[in-house]
Chains A and B, each alone.
Chain A
Amino acid sequence: MASPEVFVQQILNGIQLGFLYALIALGYTMVYGIIRLINFAHGDVFMVGAMTSFFAISAMELHRWPFKLWPGINNTAGTLLGSITVIILSMITCSLLAVTIERFAYRPLRAMPRIAALITAIGVSFFLEYFGALPFVYTNNYITYPRPFELTVLRAEDIPPWALGLVSGLFLTTLTTYFVLNGLGNRGNSKAALLRHNPVIQFFLYLGGLLTLILSLVVVLPSSGIIKWDLTISNVMLVIMSISVFLVVALQYIVTRTKVGKAMRASAYDKPTSRLMGINVDYVIAITFAIGGALAGAGGVLYAIAFKRIHHLMGILPGLKAFISAVLGGIGSIPGALVGSLTIGMAEVLSAGVISSPMRDAVAFSLLIIILLIRPQGIFGEAPGEKV
C-alpha cells in the first residue's frame, strides 16, 4: 500500500462493493434460512437484472420517459425518476424469475433429499448462463452498459456545504431521537420502545451515519487542514449506498414487523408446526424468493452502473462472494449479511491493492475458510442446536 491516503480510498471503494454484495447476499441468506438450499441460481438472477435494465435502457429508452412525457422537466428530477423506473422494472422481472424458478425447479423436490434441489439449482444456473450466451439473447461477449445517469467523481470542493450540513443534521437529529426514544422505552413507555426501531429512523440512522463518516473524511478533515488527503467519492457510490441501506431497512421491517415476515420466521424455525398453525408455507417460500429476486435485480442494475460492463457469466463470482459473505455474517441473519458483505468487499479491494488484483478471489475465500474454522456459525449466527 502506497500511503494511508490510498488505503482509505480503497476502503471507500470496498464499502461500495460491499453494499453491492449485500444486496445479493440478502437473497441468499433468506432462502438458505428458510429452506436450507444453497441457491446457486441466485447469482444468475442478479445477471438477469443487469441485462433487463440494459435492454430497458438501450432498446426501450425507459430512463428517458419523463423527458418525453414532460419536455420541460428539470434534468435531475427526470434522471432520478427514469433511473428509479429502470431499477423497479429489473426488480419486478427478477422477482418473477425467482418465483418461477422456485415453482418449477425447487418446489417439486421439497420432499426429496436436499442434494436433488442443489443439483437442480446448478442446472437452473447453467441454463440461465448459457441461454444468455446464445447469439440472439445476450451473446457471449462483454456488453458496454449505457448508464442511465453519468458517473461524476465528487471532490471535496464539489460537495456543497448545505448537503453536508443537511446530512449531518439529519444524522444528529435521528441519533438524538433514537436516544430519547431509547430512554423513554427503557423507562417502560412501550410506544417509544416500538418507535425507536421505526424503519425511517433506522434508515436515516444507518445512512446518515455512513454518509457523515465518509463526507467528513472527504470534505471536513481536508478543508480544516487536519489531514491532507485527496479522497474522492462518486455519485454512483452514494446512490448504491442509499438504495442498499433503504432496501436493507425495508427488508428488516418486512421480516420483523409484518405478518408475512412473522410467517417467514416461523417457517424457517419449524415448517410442519407452522403448517399446523395455519401458515401457508409454500406461499411464504414464494414470497421469500420474490423478495430475494427483487434485491438481486436491484443489485444487478447498481453493479452494472458502477462497473459499466456486463456479461452472461457476470453473476457467478459476485453471487459466490455474496454467498460467502452471508456465511461469514452468519447465515439467516440480515445484519450479518450486511456486515459480512462489507467485510468481504473491503478485504477484496484491499487485497487487490496490496497483493495483486487477480488474488482477490483467493483472499476472499481464504478469509471465509479461516472464519469458518474459528467461528463456524459466522459472525452474527447462532450456534447450531445439538440434534440427537
Chain B
Amino acid sequence: MVQKLKSPAVFFFTGALLIFALVQFLIETGRLNAYWQTILFWGAAMTMVSLGLNLIYGFNGQFSLGQFGFYALGAYTSADITWRWVRGDPSGLVVVIGGSILALLFMWGVASFLKRFYGVSVFTEFVFHAFATVAGFAIAVKYLRPLLGPAVYSFIQSLPEPVGRQIVFFLALLGGTAIAGIVSFLFGIPVLTLGSDYLGIATLGFTIIVKVLLDNSDTILPFPEMKGARGMVGIPKWTTWPWVFVCFMFVVLFMRNLLHSSVGRAIVSIKEDERAAALMGIDVARTKILAFVVGSVFAGLAGGIRAHDQGFLHPTMFGFLPSFNPLIIVVFGGLGSMTGTIITGFFWVFLLEGVLRLVLPTGFENWRYVIYPLVLLLLMLLRPQGLMGRYEIPFLRQTYPPVRKAAEAKA
C-alpha cells in the first residue's frame, strides 16, 4: 500500500530531483566546466563534514574539533583502496572491508560480553574494544588477504569494466566510512567523558595526531604509496555527480530520520541538559557515542568523495588551519539547523574557493584570508546565532507529537 506523502516531502524530493537533473543537464551539455564542477563537489563534501559536526556539536552539544581527522581518515582509506585496485592489487579492499566486518563482529561480541557486568570502567571498555579491533584487522591482514584477494579480484575483473569500477568505488567509500566510524567509536569511548572545552582540545589533538601520522605514512606507517608529506598522487578520479548526489542525499536523509526518531530526541535532550536526560532514563554515554560515530561516518564518506574528485591528497589539506572550517560553517549556519549548515556549506566553498579566487587578481590569493576573518568577525558581531538561527525547511523540521502540542496550547 502506498502511503500518501505529506506535502513537504513531495516538495523536498521534487526539488532535489530537479536540482539533480539540472546539474546533470549542465554537465552533459558542458556548461558547467570542470572548475565549477570541482567547486560543487567540494561544497557537497564540506557540507557533509559540517552536517556531521552539526550532529555532534549543534544537536548533541559535544564540542568537537576532530571532524577533519575523520575526514582525512576516510579520504586516505578510500583513496588507498582504489589506488591499489587500479594497479592490480586487491589487498586494500579485502583488508579494509574484511577487517572492518571482523572488527565490528568482535566488538559486538565484546559489547555483549561487557553487558553482563555493572559499572565497567571506561578504560576497561576501551581496552577491550581496541583489542577486538586490532584482532579483527590483524586476522584480515594475515589470513583474509591471501585467501580472498585473488578470488575477489578475478570476480570483479570478470564483470564489465564500468560495473566493476562502480562496485569498487562503492566498496572504497564504504571502507573509508567504516574506518572513520570504527576509529571514532574507539576514540569516543574514553574522550566523550570529558567536559566541553577539554573535549574540544582532545579532539583537536586527534586531528593533529592524524595529520602527523599522515605526514609520516611512508616512514613510520607502512604505506609507501601515500608518500607522506609529499602528497598522494594517482588516485583515480571516479567521483561523478550521481555519486555525489546519492551520498549527499543519504547523509541528509539519514540525519533527518535519525533526528526525528526517539534516538534523535535523546540526542537533543543531552544537549539541553545532560543530567536531566540521564534522570529520564537516557543512556547518556551510549547516545553521545552514537552521535559522535554517525557524525564521523559522514566525514569519512565526504573524504572518499573529495579524494576521488581531486585525485590528489596532501596532509596539509587536513591540517590545523583548515580543520576549523566545519566549525565555522556550522556556527555561521546556526547551531542545530541542518538547513543553515547546508546553505552555508555550499556558499562558503563557492565564495572562498570559487568567486574570490576568480575575482581577486593573481598574486592576491592571500588576500582571501585577510578579508575572510574580517567577514567572520563582522558576522559574529552582527548575528551571533548564525545566519539561519534555528530555522529549518519544513521537510527537515521536527514535528512534535500531538500530545505535546495540546499541552503547549493549554499552557
Contacts and interface: CB of A to CB of B under 8 A. Distances in A.
Interface string A92-109: 000000000000110011
A125 to B, nearest CB: 8
Interface string A308-347: 0000000011001001100100000000000000000000
Given A122-B376, A140-B366, A362 B320 contact: no
17 contacts: A104-B377, A119-B328, A120-B380, A120-B381, A122-B327, A123-B377, A127-B373, A127-B377, A131-B370, A320-B320, A327-B198, A356-B216, A365-B206, A373-B123, A373-B193, A376-B195, A376-B198
B197 interface: yes
B219 interface: yes
Contacts of B372: 123, 126
A320 B331 contact: no
B384 interface: yes
B389 interface: no
B220 interface: yes
Interface string A102-145: 00110011001101100110111111011101100000100000
Nearest to B332: A119
Place the interface of chain B in its size category: 35 or more
Interface string B192-229: 01110110111011101100110110011000000000
B194 A372 contact: yes
Interface of B: 63, 122-123, 190-191, 193-195, 197-198, 200-202, 204-206, 208-209, 212-213, 215-216, 219-220, 275, 320-321, 324, 327-328, 331, 335, 366-370, 372-374, 376-377, 380-381, 384
B208 A134 contact: no
B384 A116 contact: yes
Nearest to B207: A365
A74 to B, nearest CB: 46
A134 B327 contact: no
Nearest to A365: B205
B188 to A, nearest CB: 12
Given A113-B384, A122-B324, A359-B220, A365 B208 contact: yes
B19 to A, nearest CB: 30
Given A129-B369, A362-B208, A362-B212, A368 B202 contact: yes
Nearest to A378: B198
B370 A134 contact: yes
A120 B377 contact: yes
Contacts of B275: 388
A376 B197 CA distance: 11
A115 B335 contact: yes
A311 B149 CA distance: 48
**9 shortest interchain CB distances as A-B pairs:** A365-B205, A130-B369, A123-B376, A127-B373, A123-B373, A116-B384, A362-B212, A112-B384, A126-B373
Q: Which of A123, A125, A376 has the most CB of B within 10 A?
A: A123
A128 B80 CA distance: 37
A109 B384 contact: yes
Contact of A134 (B331, B366, B374): B366
Given A358-B212, A373-B123, A373-B190, A124 B373 contact: yes
A188 interface: no
A36 B63 CA distance: 14
Contact of B212 (A109, A127, A359, A376): A359
A366 interface: yes
A109 B367 CA distance: 26
B321 to A, nearest CB: 7
